[in-house]
Chains A and B, each alone.
Chain A
Amino acid sequence: MTQRRDWAPLLQAAPLALVLLLFFVFPLVATAVVSLWNYTEYSLVPDVTSRNYAEMFEGCGNLSDGLCTTFRTYISTLRLCGLVWLCTLVLGFTVSYFLAFHVRSDTVRMALFLVCTAPFLTSNVIRMISWLPLLGREGLVNQALVGSGVVDAPQDWLLFSDFSVVLAFVHLYTLFVVVPVFNSMMRIDRRLLEAAQDAGASGWQTLWHVVVPLTKPGLVIGSIFVIVLVMGDFVTIGVMGGQQIASIGKIIQVQMSYLQFPAAAAQAVVLLGLVLLVIAAMTKLIDIRREL
């Protein structure tokens, strides 16, 4: 290596830095700034006001009249998020565990792993639409339920409900848990499991005291993905909830369509703050860069 300053890495990293600056950093700055602006029906008014935040939390101090819209929306989104998180974590862990510890041939393991991850490369909307012929009033599930006499009449809660939203989320996002958890599990030294067995640990004890702690990084990364994807969602909740269920992302989208940019920006800032808090708490647990 020469002693003179080497510019090559800087130049090689420059395009990435430029794209992120133009389409990520500046937009976030613009959002933060505009969230403090005023607006009229047709234009933005650049002055500093707390109006957007004040309107967002209007009536939230007074709990006697019930919760304000903003709090209600946050709580309902958080509830969905919690449900989806729980389901994807348990399912993702189980699937990865099977792949990592029960499949013996490497080729079969990789093939099955690809089977689990390939849907990530196909369209989310189509994967949502594909639930419609199954869950609708005339759908396959209802036909089967009524036909077998389990229920008397077609069930309405199957589609355009919290149930269908959670189902679609689990369907779409479990692989965001499978990939990092599988990655963590494949790095576990198999001798540790044998050592635990030799020391007299039962299957469950080995799982809980050896596998789970060593899989923590993968679980954390998967959790971050799922939480962020659900918290900011408006597409899945929109399509699977029949445009009836409120979410934070939906509020932002609606405000954008009414050209209330500063109000939407304020919502986005609060959402971002919340998500960053969650991520900060989680990354305290691990170092992402060592996981690659």
Chain B
Amino acid sequence: MDETRRPLSFWVLAAIFTLFVVFLYGPTLTIFVLSFQGPEGGLTFPLRGLSTHWFETLWRGTGVIDIWASFRRSAWLGLVVMVLTTVISLLAGYAFRRRFPGQDLLFNLTIASLIVPSIVVSLGIALEFRLIDDAVKAYAEAHELAWLAEGYNSAMGLFTSGLGAHLTWTLPFGLLIMFAVFNRFPGELEEAARDLGASPWQVFRHVVLPLVAPSLVGVALFGFTLSWDEIARSSQALGDLNTLPLELQGLTSTVTTPEIYALGTVTTGVSVAVIGLSFLGVAIARRRAAAKLLG
């Protein structure tokens, strides 16, 4: 092969690749620009002046949208999902390195949870919780528990059914990442630690954990961002209070001002900030792991 001159196919493919990247990012950049539309401007170009008017309207909650309640709900849910996804995936990934009964079943279930259509999962969770509600109400009536019959509304909620719905989506990604990590994991280091008399916990804490820490940041990143943007599985499974993406979806057909672009920019900004922080986290974790191994 000629190493210096690129073949024609390279230039054709490079052009296609460039167009693909423009296709991926172009539209998002458009609404980023349009979110700085002047107060008189509309949903499309031309820009009528540049301003932060629509961000201010959004911030004060004086426009069509009062979004901050759902913004906070989504952020809290995302954080909880992130922590649970990281811990549960790490534990399960560690377990899968040895044989245990039901291993194949659990693996297949996890994959199934990823590829069963989200609307089906969401509907199922909604039905499950409705059945629970019906059962509780029937129980309260049968035993004449007035406090329960009157006080009980629904078991459905952000941190019950909603949390569960998000975990069915984030955990498969978490487990797959852990699989990829442990498949490339240097087993000799653990053996060496064991030979030196380390207990299973010490091996985990002082050898495994520092080595997989950078990947855990990746799992956490997936946990938060997938939850932060989740719609399909949440759609039926949240009860009365919506998350931010669901509110946004509802707004697409009603809002007629660039405020929605401002909201889009803010939401994407959160995702980008989280991605940036994760890269920083990975870099720090790598450096510490390297320092630990050398020192």
Contact of B123 among A98, A171, A265, A279 (CB under 8 A): A265
A12 lies within 8 A of B44 (CB): no
A24 lies within 8 A of B112 (CB): yes
B268 lies within 8 A of A224 (CB): no
Within 8 A of A (CB), among B145-160: none
**Known contacts A116-B21, A225-B115, A252-B123, A123 near B98 by CB under 8 Å:** no
B88 lies within 8 A of A19 (CB): yes
Contact of B28 among A34, A127, A256 (CB under 8 A): A127
**Known contacts A6-B98, A16-B175, A98 near B14 by CB under 8 Å:** yes
C-alpha spacing A122/B94, complex, angstroms: 29
Stretch of A25-33, A52-60, A61-69, A210-218 with 4 or more beta carbons under 8 angstroms from chain B: A25-33
Chain B residues whose CB sits within 8 angstroms of the CB of A94 once the complex forms = 13, 16-17
A133 lies within 8 A of B272 (CB): no
Contact of B232 among A143, A235, A243 (CB under 8 A): A235
Contact of B30 among A26, A97, A130, A275 (CB under 8 A): A130
B267 lies within 8 A of A123 (CB): yes
Interface membership of A17, Cβ < 8 A = yes
Interface membership of A78, Cβ < 8 A = no
Within 8 A of A (CB), among B85-121: 87-89, 91-92, 94-103, 106-107, 109-113, 115-121
C-alpha spacing A122/B222, complex, angstroms: 11
Chain A residues whose CB sits within 8 angstroms of the CB of B267 once the complex forms = 123, 126
Chain A residues whose CB sits within 8 angstroms of the CB of B13 once the complex forms = 94, 97-98, 102
B119 lies within 8 A of A13 (CB): no
**Can you list 15 A-B contacts (CB < 8 A)?**
A8-B98, A13-B92, A13-B103, A15-B92, A16-B89, A44-B130, A102-B9, A115-B24, A125-B231, A129-B260, A131-B27, A138-B43, A232-B120, A249-B119, A272-B117
Contact of A224 among B26, B103, B115, B261 (CB under 8 A): B115
Report the minimum CB–CB distance from B117 to chain A (whole Å).
3
Chain B residues whose CB sits within 8 angstroms of the CB of A133 once the complex forms = 30-31, 34, 43-45, 261
Report the minimum CB–CB distance from B73 to chain A (whole Å).
15
Chain B, 258-277, contact with A by CB distance < 8 Å: what is the 0/1 string? 00110010011001101100
The 9 A-B residue pairs whose C-beta atoms are closest, nearest first, are A232-B117, A27-B124, A23-B164, A130-B27, A12-B95, A9-B100, A13-B95, A16-B92, A9-B95
A130 lies within 8 A of B264 (CB): yes
Contact of B88 among A15, A235, A264 (CB under 8 A): A15
Return the chain B residue nearest A119 by Cβ.
Answer: B24
Interface membership of A150, Cβ < 8 A = no
Chain B contact patch, size range: 35 or more
Interface membership of B76, Cβ < 8 A = no
B20 lies within 8 A of A95 (CB): yes
Chain A residues whose CB sits within 8 angstroms of the CB of B42 once the complex forms = 138
Interface membership of A149, Cβ < 8 A = no
Contact of A228 among B31, B115, B168 (CB under 8 A): B115
Interface membership of B176, Cβ < 8 A = yes
Contact of B248 among A11, A23, A125 (CB under 8 A): A125
A31 lies within 8 A of B123 (CB): yes
Residue positions of B touching A, CB distance < 8 A: 1, 6, 9-10, 13-14, 16-17, 20-21, 23-28, 30-31, 34, 42-45, 87-89, 91-92, 94-103, 106-107, 109-113, 115-121, 123-128, 130-131, 134, 161, 164-165, 167-168, 171, 175-176, 179-180, 183, 200, 221-222, 225-226, 228-229, 231-232, 235-236, 245, 248-249, 252-253, 260-261, 264, 267-268, 271-272, 274-275
**Known contacts A16-B106, A123-B271, A140 near B123 by CB under 8 Å:** no
Contact of B127 among A31, A174, A239 (CB under 8 A): A31
Chain B residues whose CB sits within 8 angstroms of the CB of A139 once the complex forms = 44
Chain A residues whose CB sits within 8 angstroms of the CB of B9 once the complex forms = 102, 203
Chain B residues whose CB sits within 8 angstroms of the CB of A6 once the complex forms = 98
C-alpha spacing A243/B261, complex, angstroms: 20
Return the chain B residue nearest A22 by Cβ.
Answer: B164
C-alpha spacing A40/B34, complex, angstroms: 48
Report the minimum CB–CB distance from A87 to chain B (whole Å).
11
Chain A, 78-103, contact with B by CB distance < 8 Å: what is the 0/1 string? 00000000000001001101110010
Interface membership of A161, Cβ < 8 A = no
C-alpha spacing A17/B17, complex, angstroms: 41
Contact of A261 among B44, B100, B127, B260 (CB under 8 A): B127
C-alpha spacing A235/B248, complex, angstroms: 11
Contact of B252 among A8, A20, A125, A232 (CB under 8 A): A125
